[in-house]
Structure 1
Amino acid sequence: MIGLFMAKVQLAALAFTITALIFLLYSLSVPSVPQSPPPAGAPPAVSGGIKSLRNFSSYEELVRFVSLVAEAEVAYGYVPFAVAPAVAWTAVPVAAQVAGDSARRVFSTTNVQVAGVDELDIVKTDGRIIAVASGERVYLIDASARRLISAIKPNGTAEGLFLWGGVLAVVTVRYPIGGGAVASTALEIYDISDPHAPAARGAVVYSGTLVGARMINGTVYLVLSTPARPEGVPRVNGAPIRPERVYLVDPLPTSFTTVAAVDLNSGKMGEVSLLISQATWIYMSATRLYVASSGSPYAEALAKALGILADVAPGEVGASIKSELQRGNLTGALKIARSYIASLPAAEAEEVLRRVSTALSAYVFNETTRIHVFSVRGVDVAYQGYVDLQGRVLDQFSLEEYKGYLIVATTASNYTASLVEPKPILPPIPTTDVGINVLECTGSQCSERRVVIRPPPSPPYWPPVFDVVITPKGESLNNVFVVSPAELRVVGRLGGLAKGERIYAARLIGDLFFLVTFRQVDPLYAVDVSNPEKPAVLGFLKIPGYSEYLHPLGGGMLLGVGVEDGSLKVSLFDASNPRDIKEVAYVKMEGSRSPALFDHHAFTIRPDKRLVMIPVTAGHYGIPAGIAAISFSEGLKLLYLMEHWGAVRSLYVNNTVFTIATDSVKMFDIDTFKELAEIPLR
């Protein structure tokens, strides 16, 4: 056994040495090419720890390099993501922006992080029409007439939409069948100036899966990922990206991360791609795009779990999983594993999962984050460099720009992993009326009541899942970093915050960076970043539960959407004095949850009516039962629960609230909450 162990160590060391030699060889042979000049007003390009930013002189050279890296990765034992062959369509000029009559209407927009930077979502409106992405269709609804007027069938599954004047941009994705293939992401452009007759105006197709998307003044920015392998070389409309626009950043990259820009009015495009570790989150301001990358402990744990399963599964199944892993096709291996587990009797499946989970628990996984900085102006995108930070970024709200600096919050910890047990095919589905107990408190005055919800029309189908769960090991620590993107260095740091807890939510409001950490109670921290070199905690509040999303209300008031004792809780905080933060009111819905806990696009606010709307589940069934309308005019109060099973979004146009599910749209009066109409999406 000792001899086998030493042989593995020697093999790993040899693989690492080969990788280092490969990188050194290409560092000497690949010509160093100056970066594209930054646009006017953008910060100058700085190395940021990269001694020589290098690109490739030919497509053949690029393929040769990633082929060698792929061989070294297999020998070293690391399995990157693999996704699948691009499908190409011909691009044609797009329609010009068309002005509508939306200026005379009051309507909600997508809840975004940065004003002026739109985010991809499944629902968009200009006050005139409502566009809803649902699977392989996009439906257009006349907001005034309250009726479905047309439907679009894009070439793939609609991931989300952008709306710019009379132009609708649909982001679609296709996952071709077959291991080792690469997924494709398309930006399809439609002229909807006449929404009764939408007309296709072109499409741009990129290889890769979507990491994130933004839009500024009609220019769409897509961040895409493909594996660092020959089949993963980024393609645009079927043609490989120009090799001089691909930069080698990490010594042993696991993916191509491509930033693509498309002007919806002119059809102009621009791309730049980096060979780096897996991209996780993006953040965008008016002049910069930031991409966070890390070696995901989830991905590493899943790959390890699949490798363990391959050793305990029957010969043919185990060999198939190993074959997919050796090819770097993590999704293909996972598909085989899930099919195998689903085919077993319950007792046998539990025993296999127990053995795999026990072996998996012996491994420790950890993570650091690298922030990549791009300057942007229209379709001109220039890579500036990177900065490395300790820990993991929670989500996009953990990154915020402040007076030319980037504020980043991370949680640093080690992780262990275990397997998720097989789920029953059908969860408990209500067949009779169910209710939500509502507790409303303002100050010391509390009242309790019960809201009754009718059962859903039909139960959903939930297949069993083979997956891993990662959990922190030991005491975690939280950090706030202040980064100069112009100099690509950390200028200030607040470390060791909330030992043993992790960050659940973050939000920058003025000079204050609010953080929510959690283990047993919910500390809401107010961090002063007015002096970037010396961020400091001004005050904090500890209450039961935790907040997952924070939303500023103005006047020092802050709304938190979170969980307490397993139930949905909406809290109103008075942070006007950051040294003495108070929770002044809350609404708690027993047994309920909300998509707004993990997707801020599900949060809708009507400031003039002091009204917030979020989808909520009923009981423990996990299905949104409707949209909760919560008033924050005097404390917090649940005004009404607009019943709509499956509703995951809400928006308003004038005095009509639209609740959106994948199969229907309902309309309610915003003052009385009377149901006005329902539109099936067919």
Structure 2
Amino acid sequence: MKKKAAGLVVTAFVLCALPFLLPAGSIKEPTVTAAAQDELPVVGTYEKFKKLLKKSVANNTYAELELGIPAMAPALQAGDAAKSTAAPDFSVTNTQVQGVDEADIVKTDGTYLYQSTNREVRIVKAYPAQEMRVTSRISYEDGQFTPLEMFVDDKRLIVIGQADNYVELAPLPASKRAIPYYRNNQLVKALVYDIADKENPRLIRQLEVEGQYLSSRKIGSSLYLTANNSIDTYRILQEKTELPGPAYRDSAFGEQYQPVPYSDIRYFPESLQPNYLMVAGVNLDLPRQKLSLSTYLGAGENIYASPTSLYVAVTEYKANQRNMMQTESFDRLFAPPLAADTTIYRFGMNDGKIAFSAKGRVPGQILNQFSMDEYDGYLRIATTSGNMWRTDADTSKNNIYVLDSKLGIHGKLEGVAPTERIYSVRFMGKRAYMVTFRNVDPLFVLDLEKPDAPRILGALKIPGYSDYLHPYDENHIIGFGKETESDKDMAYYQGMKIALFDVSDVSKPKEKFKTVIGDRGTDSELLHNHKALLFSREKGLLAFPLSVYEWTEAQKAEQNIRGYGHFTFQGAYVYRIDPEKGFTLTDKITHLEPEDIAKAGEGWYESSKNIRRILTIDQTLYTISDDIVKAQQLYGQKAVKTLPLTK
């Protein structure tokens, strides 16, 4: 029986209820007060802003000019969707934290399918599959707006994207600039549509923040956006008149873009960077609530959110003083890379309002959002410090830090797997699982029950590595990555590897089952974007999109582990997964025709028919590419309908 989501779709940590991962009451409400916000100094005036900007440029000169390493490298990381406990008969995109929704390029509410492409957003009547049709399209053909991803609830479709157009700001006071000020810059836009009538979605609100999209979250009816905005340092330092701060606009309160006053911009004294970090929030159920916008002289790279806190992490490079003293200035272009710390900013979130609450720093660099996790009032964070190719004291080491409510280091485990780096991390309640790699794949089981004393419980070393770890149940975890083969001291990745790890004996984890797909060159979006995974423990279902490359018979005879295979397939692999039987491949689905494969030849092939997402509604499996939606029976693999999506 088909069910519709009641209210906002609620995120699930995995696609089933796993109470051992996030026990009730495990996350403590952070205290966000005006005092916490006031701990950060205010830029205040334009003259002070220019002085701070000069200082930030000086602080980042070595990184940017001598090594060519940018002061910040924002990861335009897309998010995941949420699973509704009220509607278990349809799937949604894999996500990290229960109660925290993340955006994706495909959504479903159990009846309709919503898809974002780089030119338009489509609403498709998807269920029942026999009646599948395109209901409406939202086009952006002027090229001034590129959709990136979306949120959907029972009332709204929220399309988040990037725009490149002129920003006209209200004129500054006559004493500073008497005419309106224009600038051509990037804008992050959230377009909010009323979708009560799916045939005619109605734009009801636009939220815009100047900058490059970083990430977003949605908790209930509250939307939170983050953006990085690079500062035109040269122009500001050369311009004699005052230039406005970063711009924003909320269409509910007028069409005019507003500059953020320098009196409202704060900065992090030890982390000056020539960028703005923009953090915005609003409760969409309250149309007269103004956009809550916090602006900081700084930048962000990775975002992690709990139901009550938003964490922004940024890598801060610093010169290795020992090497700097030993290196002539002429040769510093070829000096060893800078050492790195990670600075974490925490913002309290409440009903669409957001405020800075704490700042902390740990040694090393994080991998992605899964490197962070909030549990029982603590933030746990995994980092890699040093460099893999060094053999001295600066060789790479991997670490776990447990931070208290003020983001001070409360406990730590350092120096894990020297000479390797972290490839994936998954925190699960009082445990964590960490994969490091150089030549083999060590899977570490970590005990975090005592926040002040994290420790290693067990480890497993096997060929290959896992880029992404996904919980199956309390005693099993799934790894997605690459198989490897070694030649002397070098390991070369081969085909895509899926492994089921048994961690029931934490001191002796074991690889219970594995399967390898294709040869060197085989890849999947899942390996760097977890939202590409479809998983249901209840259905014993596992599916993901991938491109398969395979060796020819001649290559197999050569056994050259460095040789790439030839393109043979793009589509979805569908598996049954069972902790006692492992992985059983039940279907391979493609949208490509034989002539499409022929066009690829031996090399890489990109097509608008490439499957990007897989989902289920009731007993129907849907595969989605930019050009096609294909529906078939979940069990039995009988085709139901293929719907072209292009006009």
Distance 1:242-1:672 versus aligned 2 partners, 3 A rule: farther
SS of residue paired to 2:373:
strand
Residue of structure 2 aligned with 1:561, choices 477, 480, 491: 480
State the partner residue of 1:283. 304
1:676 aligns with 2:644: no
How high is the TM-score relative to the length of structure 2? 0.73
SS of residue paired to 1:397:
helix
- 1:638-653 aligned at under 5 Å gives the runs 638-645=585-592, 646-653=610-617
Structure 2 residues without counterparts, runs of 5 or longer:
1-27, 74-83, 168-182, 237-242, 250-256, 319-330, 485-493, 550-564, 593-609
Write the deviation string for residues 43-93 of structure 1: whole angstroms up to 9, x where unpaired.
Answer: 256999x995211445x456544654577579778466899xxxxxxxxxx
Residue of structure 2 aligned with 1:199, choices 198, 202, 205: 202
Report the AA paired with residue 567 of structure 1: G
Residue of structure 1 aligned with 2:31, choices 30, 36, 43: 43
Report the AA paired with residue 135 of structure 1: N
RMSD of aligned C-alpha atoms?
Answer: 3.2
State the partner residue of 1:174. 163
List, as ranges, runs of 4+ consecutive aligned residues in structure 1 with deviation greater than 3 Å: 44-48, 60-83, 101-105, 175-178, 228-233, 242-245, 358-363, 620-624
Q: In the aligned structure 1, how far is the partner of 2:38 from the partner of 2:159?
A: 40
Q: In the aligned structure 1, how far is the partner of 2:72 from the partner of 2:432?
A: 37
Q: Is the 8 A contact 2:32 2:356 kept in 1?
A: no
Q: In the aligned structure 2, how far is the partner of 1:255 from the partner of 1:622?
A: 42
Q: In the aligned structure 1, how far is the partner of 2:147 from the partner of 2:228?
A: 18
Q: Is the 8 A contact 1:527 1:536 kept in 2?
A: yes
SS of residue paired to 1:632:
strand
State the partner residue of 1:236. 248
Q: Is the 8 A contact 2:32 2:348 kept in 1?
A: no
Q: Is the 8 A contact 2:162 2:187 kept in 1?
A: yes
- 1:477-516 aligned at under 5 Å gives the runs 477-484=397-404, 486-516=405-435
State the partner residue of 1:54. 41
- Cα drift, residue 510 of structure 1: 2.3
Write the deviation string for residues 95-117 of structure 1: whole angstroms up to 9, x where unpaired.
Answer: xxxxxx99567111221100110
Distance 1:119-1:624 versus aligned 2 partners, 3 A rule: farther
Q: Is the 8 A contact 2:44 2:264 kept in 1?
A: no
SS of residue paired to 2:506:
coil
Q: Is the 8 A contact 1:82 1:227 kept in 2?
A: no
Q: Is the 8 A contact 1:482 1:491 kept in 2?
A: yes
- 1:146-185 aligned at under 5 Å gives the runs 146-154=132-140, 156-175=145-164, 181-185=184-188
Residue of structure 1 aligned with 2:282, choices 262, 270, 295: 262
SS of residue paired to 1:257:
strand
1:476 aligns with 2:396: yes
Q: Is the 8 A contact 2:445 2:458 kept in 1?
A: yes
1:611 aligns with 2:541: yes
SS of residue paired to 1:636:
strand
Write the deviation string for residues 392-438 of structure 1: whole angstroms up to 9, x where unpaired.
Answer: 1000000011111000000012489xxxxxxxxxxxxxxxxxxxxxx
Distance 1:663-1:286 versus aligned 2 partners, 3 A rule: same
State the partner residue of 2:112. 129
Report the AA paired with residue 213 of structure 1: S
State the partner residue of 1:588. 516
Residue of structure 2 aligned with 1:376, choices 349, 353, 364: 349
SS of residue paired to 2:161:
strand
| Worse-matched range after superposition: 204-213 or 642-651 | 642-651
Q: Is the 8 A contact 1:246 1:274 kept in 2?
A: yes
Distance 1:622-1:362 versus aligned 2 partners, 3 A rule: farther
1:627 aligns with 2:572: yes
Q: Is the 8 A contact 2:483 2:496 kept in 1?
A: yes
Q: Is the 8 A contact 1:263 1:379 kept in 2?
A: yes
Q: Is the 8 A contact 2:100 2:218 kept in 1?
A: yes
State the partner residue of 1:598. 528
Write the deviation string for residues 445-470 of structure 1: whole angstroms up to 9, x where unpaired.
Answer: xxxxxxxxxxxxxxxxxxxxxxxxx9
Q: In the aligned structure 2, how far is the partner of 1:215 from the partner of 1:148?
A: 26
Distance 1:554-1:74 versus aligned 2 partners, 3 A rule: closer
Report the AA paired with residue 579 of structure 1: S
Q: In the aligned structure 2, how far is the partner of 1:386 from the partner of 1:624?
A: 47
Write the deviation string for residues 588-611 of structure 1: whole angstroms up to 9, x where unpaired.
Answer: 112222110000000111222101
Count of equivalent residues: 508
State the partner residue of 1:364. 337
Q: Is the 8 A contact 2:388 2:395 kept in 1?
A: no
State the partner residue of 1:425. none
State the partner residue of 2:176. none
Q: In the aligned structure 1, how far is the partner of 2:52 from the partner of 2:644?
A: 49
Write the deviation string for residues 217-267 of structure 1: whole angstroms up to 9, x where unpaired.
Answer: 021111111124457932112211244432111453231111111222223
- Cα drift, residue 177 of structure 1: 9.9
Residue of structure 2 aligned with 1:273, choices 278, 282, 295: 295
State the partner residue of 1:637. 584
Q: Is the 8 A contact 1:122 1:161 kept in 2?
A: yes
- Cα drift, residue 650 of structure 1: 0.9
Report the AA paired with residue 122 of structure 1: I
Q: In the aligned structure 1, how far is the partner of 2:367 from the partner of 2:188?
A: 25
Write the deviation string for residues 504-532 of structure 1: whole angstroms up to 9, x where unpaired.
Answer: 11111121111000111111111100000
Q: In the aligned structure 1, how far is the partner of 2:476 from the partner of 2:62?
A: 52
1:654 aligns with 2:618: yes
SS of residue paired to 1:609:
coil
State the partner residue of 2:456. 537
Distance 1:69-1:283 versus aligned 2 partners, 3 A rule: same
SS of residue paired to 2:531:
helix
Q: Is the 8 A contact 2:359 2:406 kept in 1?
A: no
- Cα drift, residue 657 of structure 1: 1.3
Q: In the aligned structure 2, how far is the partner of 1:171 from the partner of 1:390?
A: 34
Q: Is the 8 A contact 2:497 2:514 kept in 1?
A: yes
Structure 1 residues without counterparts, runs of 5 or longer:
1-39, 84-100, 298-357, 417-469
Q: Is the 8 A contact 2:187 2:208 kept in 1?
A: yes
Distance 1:568-1:76 versus aligned 2 partners, 3 A rule: closer
Q: Is the 8 A contact 2:245 2:261 kept in 1?
A: no
1:216 aligns with 2:219: yes
1:548 aligns with 2:536: no
Q: Is the 8 A contact 1:102 1:126 kept in 2?
A: no
Distance 1:474-1:677 versus aligned 2 partners, 3 A rule: farther
- Cα drift, residue 535 of structure 1: 0.1
Q: As a proportion of its length, which structure holds more helix? A: 1
State the partner residue of 2:180. none
Distance 1:279-1:656 versus aligned 2 partners, 3 A rule: same
SS of residue paired to 1:182:
strand
| Worse-matched range after superposition: 635-644 or 529-538 | 635-644
Q: In the aligned structure 2, how far is the partner of 1:611 from the partner of 1:127?
A: 18
SS of residue paired to 1:583:
strand
Distance 1:239-1:65 versus aligned 2 partners, 3 A rule: farther
Q: In the aligned structure 1, how far is the partner of 2:418 from the partner of 2:53?
A: 43
| Worse-matched range after superposition: 613-622 or 599-608 | 613-622
